[in-house]
């Protein structure tokens, strides 16, 4: 994620540090603000919410709740760090059902696992920048799987 943020800052030097929010920005010492409240404030004010998903993400209830919130807010950009087919085989449990199902049925995502186009931080930063700034014309949709 750090490499993607560095590339994004190169593409959009006018953006300030406050324009970015990551999990590391959550103040876990804040006794009067639950971490999810801090995340949700940022999510509600954001333009896009990129979710970097791998198998570990699928095993985290809080991460899956973030995915659901991003999807509900219409700000989700789903980035698959592992092969989507493999993530679609993860056992459904807790809050991960909708996300596992997304991968199981071949739902849209940016492929960023080894060797894929969006594994390159510059490529991924370009897409995020374009979507963030309202110019999604350079986002290439992944081809639809062949129907049996």
Tokens standing for 15?
A: 């953006």
With cut-offs at 50, 70 and 90, classify the pLDDT of residue 124.
Answer: very high
User: Per-residue pLDDT for 113 more than 60?
Assistant: yes
Residue 124: phi and psi, rounded to 5, are: -65, -40
pLDDT, tens digit (0-9, with 9 covering 90-100), for 25-83: 777 777 778 888 888 887 888 778 889 999 999 999 989 999 999 999 988 889 999 99
Q: Are 49 and 20 in contact (CB under 8 A)?
A: no
pLDDT at 137 (0 to 100): 47
- Average pLDDT value for the chain: 83
Its pTM stands at 0.79
With cut-offs at 50, 70 and 90, classify the pLDDT of residue 9.
Answer: confident
pLDDT > 70 fraction of the chain, expressed in percent and rounded: 82
pLDDT: is 47 or 24 the higher one?
47
55 vs 12, 64, 138, CA distance in Å?
A: 31, 11, 28
pLDDT at 90 (0 to 100): 93
Q: Are 57 and 46 in contact (CB under 8 A)?
A: no
User: Per-residue pLDDT for 101 more than 90?
Assistant: yes
Nearest to 106 by CA among 144, 54, 66: 144
pLDDT at 30 (0 to 100): 77
């Amino acid at each position: 994620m750090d490499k993607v943020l560095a590339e994004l800052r190169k593409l959009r030097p006018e953006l300030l540090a406050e324009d970015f929010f990551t999990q590391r920005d959550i103040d876990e010492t804040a006794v009067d603000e639950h971490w999810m409240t801090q995340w949700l404030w940022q999510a509600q004010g954001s333009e896009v919410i990129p979710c970097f998903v791998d198998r570990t993400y699928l095993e985290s209830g809080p991460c899956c709740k973030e995915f659901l919130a991003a999807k509900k807010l219409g700000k989700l950009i789903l980035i698959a760090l592992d092969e989507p087919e493999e993530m679609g085989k993860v056992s459904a449990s807790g809050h991960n059902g909708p996300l596992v199902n997304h991968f199981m049925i071949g739902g849209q995502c940016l492929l960023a696992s080894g060797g894929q186009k969006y594994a390159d931080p510059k490529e991924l930063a370009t897409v995020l920048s374009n979507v963030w700034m309202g110019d999604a014309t350079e986002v290439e949709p992944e081809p639809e799987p062949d129907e049996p």
